[in-house]
Structure 1
Amino acid sequence: MPGLTALLIGSLIMTGPHGSFAPEYVALGDSYAAGVGTSGSTGQCGRSPEAYPSLYAAQQHLVNAHLAACSGAGTADVVNDQLGDLTPATSLVSITVGGTDVGFSDVMTTCVLSGDEACVDKVRQAEVVIDGPLGDSLSSTFQAIHAKAPNARLVVLGYPHVVEDNGPCPLSTDKRRALNEGADRLADVMRDRAVKAGAVFVDARPAFAGHGYCGREEWINGVLFPDVSGSFHPNAAGQRDGYLPLLAG
């Protein structure tokens, strides 16, 4: 009776060995959620077993976990390309997104290679997007997730300060101040739109405090060579000790 056997196996996977519902987890977002910046990051999307969603799935022994996050993904990419694993049975969705929309890579490149004025100006350009279209883009993304997974708990994990305010650093004080002010404004918009969508916003800034680039114990990479894509992204410690407790807590 192969059909009955398959049905029983499928039922066991969905309910778990003791008859309780097995949680179905889907991780969405950009390079921060995919794990770019860790040694395990591979493929076009840069997905890594060291990324916080993968660590969470392993920690919780989840049999139904899907890592859909991808490097370079903005809110539109999440909606268009990452929602395929969502179903009414999905019980948890996590997402980190918005950095690509505001030009994070371009901002950091400018601040590393150019002077203070150019860096500050590039951050201000990003803030125009943060205070403008980003909010509606986030709201639309959260609504699309809820439509596909109406029973899921949606956890929106924010971004840390990528660089410490004080101490010796290749980046000037003015650059660091501008970058962190921009991160603060981004966090405010992410929190506001997450709460309005009925999601949970988790602020990454307190967890990473003291551990940004130029900190004593860095959880954020500096400039990496030859693959610069992981620059100013969480390293393995940042994913494990910074982000994972935020999702698991």
Structure 2
Amino acid sequence: MKLSRIATLSSSLLLAVGLALTGAGAAQAAQQAASTDYVALGDSYSSGVGSGSYDSSSGDCLRSTVAYPALWAAAHSPSSFHFDACSGARTGDVLNGQLSSLNASTDLVSLTIGGNDAGFADTMTTCVLHSESTCLARIATANGYIDSTLPGLLDQVYSAITARAPAAHVVVLGYPRFYRLNGSCIAGLSESERSAINAASDHINQVTAKRAADHGFAFGDVISTFTGHEICSSSSWLHSVNLFNLTESYHPTAAGQSGGYLPVLNAQD
């Protein structure tokens, strides 16, 4: 009986210590988040194009209050938050217009970049408006650019971030696959075109992940979080082509920002 009672008391003590440590860990994590200086850079996937609720002061950059950087900041209350991502941004735009908020005190940086450099918008427009052969040729051109030119451009951006914010944890997020193959779409692009577009998304993610890793940055892959929520699925988190609002076409909805991007940043921060 005594041994049993001792074992019970020991278990209770260990449980109490464990709970105390868990509480301490949670408090420490909250304190660290509150002391974080966070800067969000990049293109329309980071500014939140497609999710609505745009901040009127952001103008053509179309920064949304429900984009993943804004959602992260709202949940973690960092000591400072600079939301500099902008619709249409290319690597040169980040270099020339988005780095001023970075400094030696910056703790966290997130960004998506490279899609516009590779001609994402033009490729999708070509595929929607022209023949399958023209679409596939345009995708091949984009893939060639991703191989030959994009790595060097990404290196320039990543090196500039490190130079300005050497202590920051940098999270580079990728792009989703756009189509659910053999899904519910009964018109529009062919399956060959959809498959080629998906493969191009995978390709830019692979190249971006390699460049990020070589700079010591984390890469956040959103393929898994968007799986089951592609265009042609029953619950799409991506806008299909919208001739009345071409800007939002092929961009995440608010659900895509909160369910597709935010969990990936949370897992990497």
Fold match, TM over 0.5? yes
Deviation track 1:132-176 (CA, whole Å, cap 9, x = no partner) reads 110011111100000000000000000000121221322210110
Bigger Cα Rg? 2
Instruction: Give the aligned CA root-mean-square deviation in angstroms.
Output: 1.5
Q: Structure 1 195/223 Cα, relative in aligned 2: closer, same or farther at 3 Å?
A: same
Shift of 1:224: 2.6
SS in 2 for 1:44: helix
Deviation track 1:59-88 (CA, whole Å, cap 9, x = no partner) reads 111240111000111111101100010010
Query: Which amino acid in the other structure matches residue 114 of structure 1?
Result: H
Alignment of 1:88-107 (within 5 A): 88-107=104-123
Question: Could you say which structure has the higher helix fraction?
Answer: 2
Query: Which amino acid in the other structure matches residue 200 of structure 2?
Result: G
Shift of 1:226: 2.5
Identity of matched residues, % = 44
Deviation track 1:218-242 (CA, whole Å, cap 9, x = no partner) reads 0000123522101000000000001
C-alpha distance in 2 between matches for 1:73 and 1:242: 21
C-alpha distance in 1 between matches for 2:83 and 2:33: 23
Confirm or deny that 1:136 pairs with 2:133. no
Q: Which residue of 1 aligns with 2:194?
A: 176
Shift of 1:22: 1.3
C-alpha distance in 2 between matches for 1:50 and 1:222: 19
Indicate which of 203, 217, 223 corresponds to 1:185. 203
Indicate which of 42, 46, 71 corresponds to 1:33. 46
Query: Which amino acid in the other structure matches residue 244 of structure 2?
Result: P
Confirm or deny that 1:55 pairs with 2:71. yes
Shift of 1:113: 1.3
Deviation track 1:85-119 (CA, whole Å, cap 9, x = no partner) reads 00100000001000000001001111111121111
C-alpha distance in 2 between matches for 1:115 and 1:225: 18
- Runs of 4+ deviating beyond 3 Å: 18-21
Gaps of 5+ in 2: 1-30
User: How many residue pairs were aligned?
Assistant: 232
C-alpha distance in 1 between matches for 2:264 and 2:95: 24
Gaps of 5+ in 1: 1-17
Structure 2 contact 66–258 (Cα < 8 Å) conserved = yes
**TM-score normalised over the length of structure 1:** 0.90
Confirm or deny that 1:161 pairs with 2:174. no
SS in 2 for 1:234: coil
Q: Structure 1 83/19 Cα, relative in aligned 2: closer, same or farther at 3 Å?
A: closer
SS in 1 for 2:41: strand
SS in 2 for 1:159: coil
C-alpha distance in 2 between matches for 1:92 and 1:144: 15
Shift of 1:209: 1.0
Indicate which of 117, 124, 130 corresponds to 1:114. 130
Q: Structure 1 21/222 Cα, relative in aligned 2: closer, same or farther at 3 Å?
A: closer
